[in-house]
Structure 1
Amino acid sequence: MAAQSQYEELARQLSAIGAVKRGLARILPAQCPSGSAAVLTLISRHGEMRMSKLAELLAVDMSVTSRHVAHVAERGWIERFPDPADKRSRILRLTPAGEDMLEDLSQRSIDALAHTLDDWSDDEVGQLNVMLARLRHSFDCKARAFPPHHDHTRTPA
């Protein structure tokens, strides 16, 4: 197990990832902000789904999800059609225009990363990919099992 100081430094480095995400968000086209890009990515990755599933995957409130869905639907990137199992619900599906937008977003990200990491070796980029995938897998497997955090600074009422 790593030393406490290594976990402290890891926490600082992960906090700084926000700067990387903001940098990548700057390359998005004006008509496709990061929330819209996330909707397109998740529908592409997971296939057709209900709004409730999308909200769960986005980890945001249903009202926020509805705004993102309205934005991408207005641009023709997704279609909404009645759920055969429940006509009150809608199923979301990526359209060919949405697939084109995703391809554009992907190429923008690849180009930005290639430019930013042009002084990294193939091996270094590969190591980063492996370690980030491992970190994500560890969180997927263990995050639900985190022990509850107890705030010991509060006194019982």
Structure 2
Amino acid sequence: MTRPETLGLLEQEVGVLIRRVKRVIGLRARAVHPDLQPSSYLMLAFLAEKGPLRSSAMAETFDIDKGAISRQVQHLTELGLVDRTPDPDDGRASLVSASDEAVRRLNAVAADRRTWLDERLGDWTDDELTGFVDVLGRYNRALDQS
């Protein structure tokens, strides 16, 4: 097989992966809360990992305008998945963080997903799984450089 043919197959497989990831994000979002949108799920997961943050920092991270972030934060707040607190460095601003309930639900969804993955990849050796993670990480780092 030629390199261009192999690169074409790589593009096809990445396309399958992207479609699968989009579907999984939707499933995870609904598992956290039936009214949670996939895009808000990604923001909530980010907040659980990196928060508390200002909305402006999230707008920059996600490359989304502040109005869209504000609407998503409001929706997450209404669902009880996000808490707002005054920013100690600037009383006019607030910090947004995942609520304790959101973190609990996100952790439960992640644990379920890892169990599911382990069942599907049960015939992979630890070395194969580690090798795949290493190669996928290398692939992602190579694409981040452009």
The TM-score with structure 2 as length reference comes to 0.77
Q: Please say if 1:18 is aligned against 2:18.
A: yes
CA distance in 2, matches of 1:93, 1:25: 20
CA distance in 2, matches of 1:56, 1:96: 25
- The 8 Å contact of residues 54 and 96 in structure 2, kept in 1 or not, is answered as yes
Bigger fraction of residues in helix? 2
Q: Please say if 1:96 is aligned against 2:100.
A: yes
Letter in 2 for 1:109: R
Q: Where do 5+ consecutive residues of structure 1 fail to align?
A: 144-157
Note the 1:31-42 alignment, pairs <5 A.
31-42=35-46
What does residue 118 of structure 1 align with? 122
Q: What's the Cα RMSD here? A: 2.4
Q: Where do 5+ consecutive residues of structure 2 fail to align?
A: none
User: Shift of the alpha carbon at 1:86?
Assistant: 3.1
Answer with 1 or 2: which has the greater Rg.
Answer: 1
Distance 1:59 1:16, change over 3 A: farther
CA distance in 1, matches of 2:42, 2:131: 25
CA distance in 1, matches of 2:90, 2:26: 39
Identical counterparts, % of pairs: 23
- The 8 Å contact of residues 26 and 38 in structure 2, kept in 1 or not, is answered as no
CA distance in 2, matches of 1:19, 1:7: 18
The TM-score with structure 1 as length reference comes to 0.73
